[in-house]
Amino acid sequence: MFSARIRAASWCTDMKLMIIESPGKVKKLSAILGDDWKIAASVGHVRDLPTREMGVAAPDFKPQYEMTERGAEVIAKLKGYVKQADVVYLATDPDREGESISWHLQQCLKLSNPLRVTFNEITPSAVKAALVKPRSIDVKLVAAQEARRVLDRLVGYSVSGELQRQTGERLSAGRVQSPAVRLVVERERQIRAFKVTNHFGASLIFADAKTSSEWATEWLTKPKFVTDDSPYFMDRTFAAAVADVKAVVVSSFVESEAKRSPPAPFTTSTMQQAASVALSLDPKAAMDAAQKLYEQGHITYHRTDNPNVSDESLGDIFAVAVKLGLDMADKPRKFKASEGAQVGHPAITPTHWEVEEAGETPEQRALYKLIRLRAIACQLADARYAVRTVRLNAAQPVNGRDVEFEGKGRTLIYSGWLKLIAGDQTQEEEEADSSNPIPVLQPGERLDVLRGNLLEKKTKAPGRYTQASLVAKLESEGIGRPATYAAIMDNIVSRAYVKTDKKFLVPTATGELIVDSLVGHFEFIDLGFTREIETDLDRIANGAAGYKAVISRVDDKLQRELSTLQVSAPPKHPCPECGKPLRRIPGKSGHFWGCTGHPVCSVTLPDEGGKPGQRKPVETSAHACGTCGKPLIHRFKKGKAGYDFWGCSGFKDGCKTSYPNKGGVPDLTKAK
């Protein structure tokens, strides 16, 4: 059917229209497809949920979409192109978000037979191959994206309002955002609660008689001196005695060879991590640079969970390896994807493997180099190391106890893939070579100690997250997806829920307040529940679960949690008059607190250190109201909108009598 449409299109002379997402692709695609084509961009989504209301409700949870201001202009322009077009191709990005954008375009443009095409790279071969195999819009992918958007809206709107009720602050909760903040908060609290433990060890230094080089061993305290339950040796005097050992006997000596395989090509997550470590680019900056490289046709699609290159790329990698004089692995490498990974697209790789430099900015060029070298290295031969391991026993017991030492040395004997890349690994992947030149030894051989060292050690608190390590943690927990990580990092920093101290993430008081308000009350803040939702979204995408069933389950739980909390948890700052929550409001002269029951309740309080202060006592006068007899109050304000009159102090009880001011006293003859 689709091929018939294409053949029919070729007989016509009218324009062929391709609608894409990003205007950055227009120039490249126009050059590939030629003058018979019109390339137009939707500039992302043209419709979205309403900005000032929920836009979705039980029992059907059908989203109420509205045109964005920019989207309305785009659609008006696209309608003109559609009228001129002989055939329309929807070529938005090859992921759920792109599929959803195509569906919205179909609805808004009233397209009866659009041809959906996707390509993982903007190259002539990839684009033309896609045009030969068009398909219809995948409604399951659309449903999965819609479910994610609706779940985010339900959580954001419902819970953010409750946060404001509880705290009086303008705070927001997010289905993925809030668990990310929780991770940062809990890590910081671990650091605060950490207590340093001083403990001791010992090392022995030896001299190689043949080379005069020195090599080292360290006292093995486990299992004779420490255990898993009590892992630190605390006896400084005994450790000093161990460091004073004068001679040892070789109990074992082993020579072996170790291999180190290259890391996998980049997924979205690992690219962000490597860019942070090697290039000091935060996730958003890395994704922006990757987006430009993709639009320029230099790299494949940059939103992917797949850690493997395409089979078609193996020949390209071989050609580059031959040119550079590098050895390939014995057989093609396959890397294991993370659990729940979407592997429809290959890893991020160059589109033209022979091109060594690409990109318009220094950041783009640096990122391209990382991507290219990592992708080539993944199919190269292992690095190999000569490894020597020696075990030594003290020639004499120390204070009546046998002590044992171990030394390890590792020497690179074949570079393999290391010849090509260095410095692009994430922190977790980095490995330091040992320079401990242990000589060949024989069991039973006696050695004299050159010197011993008492090792004074301190336990270290867990390290703070960086944006890179937080992304890695979210990925390992199955929270969020590649396309969302950069936005999550940007949100929690821009909203001041966390701040950066040098490169490390530190929670703000606001971030801690959000976490404390959510934990124990809402399950979505728990990592396990968030992971389950991601799995459910994947099941919608592959047809194993229905949209309504997934949304209903989460919404039911959310509404129960909200009802329970609203009954059990009074507002943090209740109004002294009506009991409704007070809200912190920015004013011209700083913040103040106002009742959320306004305009029925008009209570306002000053702000004192981020909390409601005490109202200033109203100064009454000796002048009495002629209507009810209560004291009058002099009320005045300078300026254009000023006033100057005497009002009854019983106005809250219903007396609205007032008098004009005359010489500093009320004119009781002119009651209003």
**Active site residues per annotation:** 301
List, in order, residues 6 or more apart from 205 with CB less than 8 Å away: 214, 215, 216, 449, 450, 451, 452, 453
CA–CA distance, 25 with 92 (Å, rounded to integer): 11
The contacts of residue 430 (CB under 8 Å, 6+ apart) are: none
Q: Which of 449, 408, 502, 446 is nearest to 220 (CA)?
A: 408
Distance of CA 309 to the CA centre of its chain: 24
Q: How far apart are CA 68 and CA 76, in angstroms?
A: 12
- DSSP one-letter code for 380: B
Report the candidate in 421, 118, 121 with the shortest Cα–Cα distance to residue 293. 121
Q: Identify the three-state secondary structure at position 619.
A: coil
How many Cβ atoms sit within 10 Å of the Cβ of residue 665?
A: 14
What six digits make up the tokens of 127?
Answer: 């684009």
Q: Which of 373, 382, 482, 485 minimizes the C-alpha distance to 424?
A: 373
Query: How many angstroms separate the first and last alpha carbons of the chain?
Result: 83
Nearest to 434 by CA among 415, 401, 412: 412
Quote the CA–CA distance of 363 and 148 in Å, as a whole number: 32
Which residue, 32, 249, 61, 228, is CA-closest to 128?
Answer: 32
Q: Nearest-5° angle of CA 458, CA 462, CA 463?
A: 110
Sign of the Cα torsion 188, 189, 192, 195 reads negative
